[in-house]
Amino acid sequence: MNDVPTATAAPPASNASSGIPSGTGPMSSPRLAEFNEEVGKLKVTGGGANSEKLGAMWGIGLTIVGFVISVLSWWSALDATNEPDIVRSTIPGVIGVGLAIVGIAMWVRNSLTRYLRYWIVRLVYEQREQTDAIVQALKEK
């Protein structure tokens, strides 16, 4: 997830039955070059200041810490003999489970951010390409 994938689709051949000229299929050469240029401008490199990468690492850390706290609390409650000690050991366990859930949510959110950002930009450019093809077809008629 450190590098943004680039589109490598080649322009399709002319489709005589549909009346769409060659090079106007999804992500043709001029539009593909413009798309790659815009993706490059997003500055989503895998550098150290990458907030998604840092957030994903924090999520993993919180998950691990939460599970460790939960296991230690469970172990402590297992050895307890009276009810107040069991309750005192259960409270940190519940907090640990909560931390683990928050960590998992942070990891999922930050892991998907870059991927979804790339695809929304690609979707916009493909829709522009389709609009240009429709306008060209209407002008020809």
How much is the pLDDT for 35?
A: 75
Q: What is the pLDDT of residues 31-75, one digit of tens each?
A: 777 777 777 777 655 555 577 888 889 999 999 999 999 999 999
SS3 15: strand
Is residue 7's pLDDT more than 80?
no
51: CB partners within 8 A, 6+ apart: 110
Is residue 118's pLDDT more than 90?
no
Supply φ then ψ for residue 49, to 5 degrees.
-90, 15
State the pTM of this model.
0.55
- Token pair 């815009």 is found at 38
Q: What is the pLDDT of residues 80-104, one digit of tens each?
A: 888 888 888 899 999 999 999 999 9
